[in-house]
């Protein structure tokens, strides 16, 4: 009911079934609320004569009744609903155009349709409409009131759930990793093993042991987090030709190919392998960090730029469990547990794909390598991931198989010179990363029109190189590279370190870096300059391919 004194709609007089008190009844002062609450409590307990342990609170004058000021007339706009930017003129326009019912007014102007459901704007809006109609406010009516009737704190909505700042994504083998001594690391939203440490080991000692054992015998790592996108349809191959810088329509069924994507501005975006499972059926893998962005990228071009293409893309990342097993004895381990297919060089050459079974579970195996060793990625349904993983680990025991985590994975990729998001950082081109051999001259692709802009082909751009610490002290990520070191006045940066590690294969501290005109500087010396961490020292600039530069180990 409309209360002219309070200039608000208030509940009708209480009945025997309920009693009101406080702001609910239009009493907004603390004293009024206490007095009404006391009276309501006594009434509920049996009337004024009921015993009370509360002291009597004398009523004190509260704030004066509000004045009926529903609009501040100004030269500019006079807002009524601040959330939806509804003005007094919008309400009058609704009146002129015949939307005089409160329900029509609400939908025509969106008055009261924001998060507060009109608690701060409905009465002023109705008052302006009442003025335009020449009626009192009660005759105009109200829209249906919806909760919340008072602001609700975020803490109340959260209730007892606390501690998680963002969602957690766990691989199918997560519990196995925890049970087998893994130290977990948050990589994006995913939790991944960092190391499988032994008692008393430091992180560096653990990853050096894992990487060394992988290069000497074999290692296995959980790669379930890689983005996986099914690209299917009659135009799937043509679509991939446009998305990647290199050709995929020529890829044979049962083979995989490494691909590079550019953004529309010609800068490198993401890399990964895509497998051709059928004439119209491809499985694309992306980096873990960019899985969502690549999916968004593909959907945008299919929905907006090339809607005529008959292609369907589906994120299947969570449908597959993945294990990468690599090292000189990796093939022997697979041969010991895979049935239904051979894994010898004839049946499974580099970038080949076969299907078989491991411990009764159907698997798909692709021979490719991120570590630089002969390696295989084994995929099974996510629900069978732990079962297949355990079968691989058990089969590998006689061969000295080790499980390894992100630290060893990163070490081996640095040794091999493979790029990740640290190098594909949104500022580098394919040429900067020495991937220009992947830029097809036979077809256009996303980014091809912009990749040859003057600034992207300049001779002094930062290019990928390797660094060797001549003092054999650890590097720090982000440290600058200078031609001449000046500890008192650091200046003259010619580049920076993107990734670094101690290399068990070389017995040296090494790094990948982006250095100005880096390719021409290979074989020369420079200095690392890191004043914040007080690290200065001489370095040799070399190729980013520290280990097995001709690829004989992974192609063998």
Confidence of residue 193 (pLDDT cuts 50, 70, 90): very high
Say yes or no: domain 79-154 is CATH 3.40.50: no
Confidence of residue 76 (pLDDT cuts 50, 70, 90): confident
Checking if the pLDDT of 28 tops 80, the result is: no
Tokens 């190919």 belong to residue: 257
DSSP-assigned letters across all residues of 130-154: HHHHT--HHHH--PPP-S-SS---H
pLDDT at 257: 98
Average pLDDT estimate for 411-428: 96
Q: Report the pLDDT averaged over residues 299-324.
A: 98
Higher pLDDT, 115 or 181: 181
pLDDT at 157: 79
Task: Write the CA distances from 205 to 146, 415, 508, integer angstroms.
Answer: 61, 17, 14
Question: How far, in Å, CA of 188 to CA of 333, rounded?
Answer: 32
pLDDT of residue 43: 76
Burial class (CB in 10 A: 0-12, 13-18, 19+), 157: exposed
Q: Is the pLDDT of residue 91 over 80?
A: yes
User: Looking up tokens 């499985």, which residue turns up?
Assistant: 283
Q: What is the pLDDT of residue 62?
A: 57
Domain extent listing, the chain: 1-67, 79-154, 227-315+430-445, 458-556
| Region for 307 from its dihedrals, namely left if φ exceeds 0, alpha if ψ lies in -120 to 50, beta otherwise | alpha
Position 55 confidence tier, pLDDT thresholds 50, 70, 90: low
- Asked if residues 366 and 353 have their Cβ atoms less than 8 Å apart, the reply is yes
Cβ-based burial of 132 (10 A; exposed 0-12, middle 13-18, buried ≥19): middle
CB 497 within 8 A of CB 468: no
| CA angle, 436 then 438 then 443, to 5° | 110
Check residue 58 and give left, alpha or beta (phi > 0: left; psi -120 to 50: alpha). Answer: beta
Q: Is the pLDDT at 142 greater than 90, yes or no? A: no
- Tell me the torsion sign for CA atoms 248, 249, 252, 254: positive
* DSSP β-ladder status, 190-196 and 169-170: parallel
Degrees, nearest 5: CA angle 329-334-336 = 95
Q: According to the model, what pLDDT value does residue 52 have? A: 56
CA distance 414 to 423: 11
Closest by CA to 362, choosing from 376, 332, 382, is 382
Q: What is the CA radius of gyration of the chain?
A: 34
Q: Which of 3, 141, 14 is nearest to 65 (CA)?
A: 3
Q: CA 192, 198, 201 angle in degrees (round to 5)?
A: 95
Which residues are 509's β-sheet partners?
502
Mean pLDDT across the chain? 91
Each residue's pLDDT tens digit, 223-248: 999 999 999 999 999 999 999 999 99
Into which CATH architecture does domain 458-556 fall? Beta Barrel (2.40)
CATH class of the structural domain 227-315+430-445 = alpha beta
pLDDT band at 159 (very low <50, low <70, confident <90, very high): confident
Residue 66: pLDDT above 80?
Answer: no
Separation of alpha carbons 72 and 16, rounded Å: 42
- Mean pLDDT over residues 277-298, rounded? 97
pLDDT tens across 177-191, in order? 999 999 999 987 899
Residue 77, pLDDT > 60, answer yes
Q: What is the pLDDT of residues 512-530, one digit of tens each?
A: 999 999 999 999 999 999 9
Sequence-ordered list of residues with C-beta below 8 angstroms from that of 174, at least 6 positions apart, any chain: 191
pLDDT tens for each residue of 467-513: 999 999 999 999 999 999 888 888 999 999 999 999 999 999 999 99
d(CA 100, CA 47) in angstroms, rounded, equals: 46
pLDDT digit string (tens) for 425-477? 999 999 999 999 999 999 999 999 999 999 999 999 999 999 999 999 999 99
Q: Pairing between strand 227-232 and 79-81?
A: unpaired
- Determine the Cα–Cα distance for residues 203 and 182; give it in Å rounded to an integer: 11
Q: What percent of the chain has pLDDT over 70?
A: 95
77 vs 16, higher pLDDT: 77
Whether 68 has a pLDDT exceeding 90, the answer reads no
Asked if pLDDT for residue 353 goes beyond 90, the answer is: yes
Compute the average pLDDT of residues 371-377: 96
pLDDT class for 149, splitting at 50, 70, 90? low
Burial letters 465-496, b for 16+ CB under 10 A, else e: bbbbbeeeeebeeebbbbeeeeeeeeeeebbb
């Amino acid at each position: 009911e409309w209360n002219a004194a309070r200039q608000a709609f208030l509940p009708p007089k209480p009945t025997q079934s309920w009693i009101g008190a406080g702001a609910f009844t239009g009493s907004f002062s603390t004293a009024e609320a206490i007095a009404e609450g006391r009276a309501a409590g006594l009434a509920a307990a049996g009337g004024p004569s009921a015993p009370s342990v509360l002291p009597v609170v004398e009523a004190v004058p509260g704030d004066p009744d509000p004045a009926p000021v529903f609009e501040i007339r100004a030269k500019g706009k006079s807002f009524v609903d601040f959330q939806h930017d509804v003005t007094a003129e919008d309400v009058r326009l609704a009146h002129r155009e015949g939307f005089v019912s409160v329900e029509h007014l609400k939908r025509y102007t969106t008055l009261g349709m924001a998060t507060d459901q009109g608690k701060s704007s409905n009465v002023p809006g109705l008052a302006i409409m009442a003025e335009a109609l020449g009626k009192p406010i009660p005759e105009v009516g109200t829209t249906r009131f919806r909760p919340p009737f008072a602001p609700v704190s975020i803490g109340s909505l959260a209730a007892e759930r606390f501690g998680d700042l963002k969602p957690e994504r766990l691989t199918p083998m997560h519990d196995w990793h925890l049970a087998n001594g893994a130290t977990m690391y948050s990589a994006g939203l995913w939790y991944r093993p960092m190391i499988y440490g032994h008692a008393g080991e430091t992180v560096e000692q653990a990853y050096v042991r894992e990487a060394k054992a992988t290069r000497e015998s074999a290692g296995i790592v959980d790669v379930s987090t890689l983005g996986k996108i099914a690209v299917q349809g009659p135009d799937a191959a043509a679509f991939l030709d446009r998305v990647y810088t290199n050709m995929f329509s020529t890829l044979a069924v049962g083979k995989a190919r490494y691909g590079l994507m550019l953004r529309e501005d010609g800068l490198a975006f993401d890399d990964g392998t895509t497998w051709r499972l059928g004439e119209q059926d491809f499985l694309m893998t992306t980096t873990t960090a960019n899985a969502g962005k690549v999916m968004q990228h593909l959907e945008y071009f299919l929905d907006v730029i090339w809607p005529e293409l008959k292609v369907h893309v589906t994120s299947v990342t969570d449908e597959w469990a993945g294990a990468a097993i690599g090292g000189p004895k990796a093939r022997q381990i697979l041969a010991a547990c895979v049935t239904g297919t051979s894994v010898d060089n004839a049946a499974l050459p580099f970038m080949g794909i076969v299907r078989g079974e491991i411990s009764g579970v159907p698997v798909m195996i692709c021979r490719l390598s991120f570590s630089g060793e002969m390696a295989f990625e084994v995929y099974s349904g996510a629900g069978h991931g732990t079962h297949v993983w355990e079968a691989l680990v058990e089969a590998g025991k006689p061969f000295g198989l080790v499980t390894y985590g992100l630290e060893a994975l990163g070490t081996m990729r640095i040794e091999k010179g493979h790029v990740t998001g640290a190098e594909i950082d949104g500022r580098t081109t394919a040429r900067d990363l020495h991937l220009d051999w992947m830029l097809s001259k036979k077809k256009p692709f996303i980014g091809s029109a912009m990749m040859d802009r003057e600034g992207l082909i300049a001779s002094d751009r930062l290019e990928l190189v390797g660094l060797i610490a001549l003092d054999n002290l650890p590097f720090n990520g982000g440290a600058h590279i200078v031609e001449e070191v000046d500890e008192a006045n650091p200046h003259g940066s010619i580049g920076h370190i993107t990734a670094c590690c101690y290399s068990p294969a070389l017995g040296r501290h090494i790094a990948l870096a982006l250095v100005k005109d880096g390719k021409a500087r290979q074989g020369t010396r420079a200095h690392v300059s890191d004043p914040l961490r007080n690290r200065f020292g001489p370095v040799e600039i070399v190729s980013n391919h520290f280990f097995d530069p001709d690829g004989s180990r992974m192609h063998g």
